[in-house]
Amino acid sequence: MSEPSSLLAVFAHPDDESLWAGGVIARHAAAGARTAVVTATWAAGTHRAAELADATRALGAGEPLLLGYADARVPESAPGRPRLLDAPLDEAVGALVAHLRRFRPRIVVTHDAYGGLTGHPDHVHTHRVTALAVHAAAHERLYPEAGAPWRAGALYLATHPHSAVDTLTGFAAAGRALRTVPDEWVAAAADVRPWLEQKWAGVQAHRSEVARGAAPGLLASLPAADRERLLGTEWYMRYDGVATDTAGGIANELTG
């Protein structure tokens, strides 16, 4: 294609974008694609929102877009705002529809229905909100105040196949419940090692998560070879029902 694709990544928390899709984001940005990140929780002015901005710049995605809801477990993440889980669903979907219609992405990437490996409730709810918003954005009579309709070419769900469990033993050793999917459900496996430097810079930008020993901190404690093994491949399922005529071509764009 003469013009690079456009990719919008929608994730629950600051650091999710780098951990689960940082390589694909960096790959698209390096190719000259329009690339952006929407984060559902944490508000502007908080320390994690500032770290997120550093991470998205490292990935080449510019300034992050914030829905500004509170993290389910950290009420101070968005003072005066409801938790994402408590916000009216119609409100959250409409807020994301507005971002979709402004950015007009060809590809949207978000959490899978499990909410990824850990099943965090914010991840699961962000999946639901994104799936609804991608469909709603295409319909002119839904959320007319959010702008002209836009139909994304594909929605991909960041996931992990059952066969990756051995690779993820570092997370299992930390007592994390691993939620993986059958290998045949995976539509795209992206080798992101060429963009691992940018992806790792994005992960490290979440300094408070490194310091408290969350996933970025766990990764920082590992030898470089083990980090590459954990971060060098990203897996995606394709969400059926968004578009069907260009599925193969879009999958090739996603994975390279």
Task: pLDDT tens for the chain, 256 residues: list them.
Answer: 334 689 999 999 999 999 999 999 999 999 999 999 999 999 999 999 999 999 999 999 999 999 999 999 999 999 999 999 999 999 999 999 999 999 999 999 999 999 999 899 999 999 999 999 999 999 999 999 999 999 999 999 999 999 998 888 666 555 566 899 999 999 999 999 999 999 999 999 999 999 999 999 999 999 999 999 999 999 999 998 665 445 455 567 777 6
What is the structure's pLDDT at 2? 38
State which amino acid sits at residue 238.
R
What is the structure's pLDDT at 172? 54
What is the structure's pLDDT at 104? 98
Which single residue is written with the structure tokens 């000259």? 32
Taking the C-alpha atoms of residue 63 and residue 70, their distance in angstroms, rounded to an integer, is 19
Domain ranges of the chain: 6-255
What is the structure's pLDDT at 166? 83
What is the structure's pLDDT at 168? 81
> How many CA atoms does the CB half-sphere of 72 hold within 13 Å?
11
The domain 6-255 having CATH identifier 3.30.70.100: the answer here is: no
What is the structure's pLDDT at 62? 94
> How many CA atoms does the CB half-sphere of 18 hold within 13 Å?
30
Environment class of 146 (CB within 10 Å of its CB; exposed 0-12, middle 13-18, buried 19+): buried
Residue (of 222, 219, 161) closest to 190 by Cα position: 161
